[in-house]
Copies of this chain bind each other. A is one copy, B any other.
């Protein structure tokens, strides 16, 4: 537990340089410490935690500063109901990009139909729909769907069926004995960390499957 330390020690504890901490302060990503003198302030456990959250958003989640500010505002604003704050945070976690053109519009229609068919309680204007449409456009561009020899929507059905019980378990595991801000933090961190973790596990599975099909076909090493 950290109580009332200088910025130098906050840097030591979090592994984030003093220059970067000052940048976080200037950008409003980190709340100020308790002023003790001109240009002197004390920081506490809340700052340690926030620095780690900011780092997770920027590095692991690769959010822009502007999007990280949106997420943190939703975490901090007690007047926003938790489910609405969740929506703000989810939207900010989808990178902005040019999504004009008929090809993108068709992909988005396909995604909207998918959401309806599964009767998902997802906002019709949720940015995550655009994220899935991005993937669909790229699959179409490169003829990937055909190559896989299976209808794309069938594989999306299968992936969603896997994701739903995990999401339900994850949301159900949210503890009730923590503050709203902590609940929001967990939601954001859970979204980002499990996304990276699952992507990594899937890539490991791909390398394993590729080794078996294209590699030297050596036996896996025994681990005893």
Contacts and interface: CB of A to CB of B under 8 A. Distances in A.
B52 A220 contact: no
Interface residues of A, number: 97
Contacts of A205: 120, 160, 163-164, 166-168
In the complex this chain forms, how many copies of it are found? 2
A138 to B, nearest CB: 5
A140 to B, nearest CB: 10
Nearest to A113: B223
B83 A223 contact: no
A52 B86 contact: no
Contact of A208 (B132, B167, B202): B167
A119 B195 contact: no
Contacts of A86: 207, 210, 214
Most chain B beta carbons < 10 A, residue from A150, A155, A159:
A159
Nearest to A195: B199
Nearest to A171: B209
Nearest to A123: B207
A148 B170 CA distance: 7
Contacts of A155: 194
Q: Is the interface of A mostly helix, strand, loop or mixed?
A: helix
A151 interface: no
Given A116-B221, A126-B204, 19 more contacts: A59-B97, A60-B134, A83-B210, A83-B211, A86-B207, A123-B207, A128-B200, A129-B200, A142-B185, A144-B189, A148-B190, A150-B173, A156-B197, A164-B209, A167-B208, A168-B209, A198-B198, A198-B199, A198-B202
A148 B173 contact: yes
7 contacts: A59-B97, A82-B214, A121-B212, A144-B189, A159-B166, A160-B201, A199-B199
Contact of A207 (B60, B87, B95, B189): B87
Interface in A129-157: 129, 131-132, 134-136, 138-139, 141-142, 144, 147-150, 155-156
